[in-house]
Amino acid sequence: MTAARTRRPFPIRRCVGVVIIPLLCWAVMALACRLAGIRLFSGLSTWQLWLRGLTYVLLLSFGVSINMHTGRFDFSAGAVMLFGGVVGAMLAYGRGWGPWAMLVISLVVGAAAGCVTGVLYVLLRLPPMIIGLGMTLLLEGVVAILTDGCKPVGFGTNADYYRFSVNMPAMLVIGGLALLVMTVLFHYTRFGYDYRALQTGQRIAVNAGVDERTNAVICYTVAGAMLGAAGALSICGTNGVTPTINFSTIASMFACFLPLFFSGFIGKYVNKQAAILLGCVGYEFIQIGFGQLSFSIASFTADVYKVIEAVILVAFLIYLNNEGFIQDIVTFRRFRKRTT
């Protein structure tokens, strides 16, 4: 009887750990919107924007996380995303192939750019940061040439591309396929086994026969594919883009930091890919809530939003680094230990 009682809390604790962050983000933003006299989700269009944002940030988070979780912080992620999206837009729109073709082209171009970055990293043996910054300048320069001095890349009066970005079945298919590919690749293949082995002990894994160089190139290639697809969705969602240079693309990858840190907590209860998805769900509740508040409160500007998001990020990092201590305080565990 005692053994049965000790086993019951574990599944409950795991379920709570999986859903607590998305539910908390939803509850806080719903309350904030209610206090402002509005609703968090005011209709179908709001759900469409939420799902579009979720799919975009999910692809971006997948792309950034692959190398970041192995200690290779790739600063060229934003440039790869821009390069893939611009090339896909120019080819697909110019030839009338449609948004699905644009997505596929952007994915392939992003994978090729990522592969080049991975090969340079393996051959030159320079720190990932140096390789990333060099590729950022290179890709931004190529985009500037392709767009004739960073002129806008748009779709004119063609609304098919924007409608594609808010097409809920299409976003569900894209997000579902990305989640499926990432889960199978990183959890049910030899590549995924080697990837996890290199994460936990690179020297031991290499000594055991893991080809770290090939694994790194594949990581960069898969990351590039995800980033290229994210670039296509970004351009479709804004109905065009004005490319910029001088390392400006680096900032675009910071949009996935908060959901990735969310996933660091959720990942204790579920596999990494599902944790990233749930982290993105919570993050998009925050995004859609801030968007609704900005429409109803004039003083709630983009700068205010950035400050609040930064505070949330710092607060969550403080919690992650002091999780045990904070839990002891909340549950009075330390007090109970002293009294006993």
Nearest CA to 120 out of 108, 143, 138 is that of 138
Tokens at 325, concatenated: 């201590």
Taking only Cα atoms into account, the Rg of the chain, rounded to an integer number of angstroms, comes to: 22
Say how far apart CA 75 and CA 9 lie, in whole Å.
42
Per-residue pLDDT tens digits for 60-79: 999 999 998 888 888 899 99
* Mean pLDDT estimate for the chain: 85
Lowest-confidence segment of 196-200, 302-306, 311-315 by average pLDDT = 302-306
At residue 201 the predicted structure's pLDDT band, cuts being 50, 70 and 90, is confident
* φ and ψ of 153, to 5 deg: -105, 100
The better pLDDT of the pair 153, 23 is held by 23
Say what the pLDDT of residue 284 is: 94
31: pLDDT strictly greater than 60: yes
Nearest CA to 277 out of 291, 292, 294, 262 is that of 262
Say how far apart CA 269 and CA 46 lie, in whole Å.
30
**Using an 8 Å Cβ cutoff, are 155 and 239 in contact?**
yes
Q: Please list the residues that pair with 240 across neighbouring strands.
A: 154
6: pLDDT strictly greater than 50: no
At residue 3 the predicted structure's pLDDT band, cuts being 50, 70 and 90, is very low
Say what the pLDDT of residue 298 is: 75
Say how far apart CA 153 and CA 145 lie, in whole Å.
12
Q: Say whether 178 sits in a helix, a strand or coil.
A: helix
Q: Say whether 241 sits in a helix, a strand or coil.
A: strand
* φ and ψ of 182, to 5 deg: -65, -40
Beta strand ranges found along the chain (DSSP E): 153-154, 240-241
Per-residue pLDDT tens digits for 245-263: 677 788 888 888 889 989 9
* φ and ψ of 36, to 5 deg: -85, 0
190: pLDDT strictly greater than 80: yes
The better pLDDT of the pair 228, 264 is held by 228
Block residue for tokens 């890709």: 139
Say what the pLDDT of residue 339 is: 55
**Using an 8 Å Cβ cutoff, are 277 and 179 in contact?**
yes
Tokens at 268, concatenated: 């204790």
Tokens at 181, concatenated: 């590919």
* φ and ψ of 241, to 5 deg: -155, 150
Say what the pLDDT of residue 71 is: 80
CB atoms within 10 A of CB 247: 14
* DSSP, res 311: H
Residue 101, Cβ density class (10 Å: 0-12 exposed, 13-18 middle, ≥19 buried): middle
Say what the pLDDT of residue 2 is: 44
Say what the pLDDT of residue 96 is: 85
Say what the pLDDT of residue 8 is: 44
Q: How many percent of the chain have pLDDT more than 70?
A: 89
Say what the pLDDT of residue 157 is: 64
At residue 9 the predicted structure's pLDDT band, cuts being 50, 70 and 90, is very low
Per-residue pLDDT tens digits for 260-309: 989 988 988 898 999 999 999 999 999 999 888 888 887 777 777 778 87
Per-residue pLDDT tens digits for 92-103: 888 889 899 999
Q: How many percent of the chain have pLDDT more than 90?
A: 43
Say what the pLDDT of residue 332 is: 54
Tokens at 179, concatenated: 């989640």
At residue 333 the predicted structure's pLDDT band, cuts being 50, 70 and 90, is low
Say what the pLDDT of residue 254 is: 81
The better pLDDT of the pair 240, 256 is held by 256
**Can you state the angle between helices 44-68 and 168-187, rounded to 10 degrees?**
20
58: pLDDT strictly greater than 50: yes
* φ and ψ of 145, to 5 deg: -70, -45
Nearest CA to 140 out of 205, 210, 82 is that of 82
335: pLDDT strictly greater than 60: no
Say how far apart CA 310 and CA 307 lie, in whole Å.
5
Say what the pLDDT of residue 301 is: 75
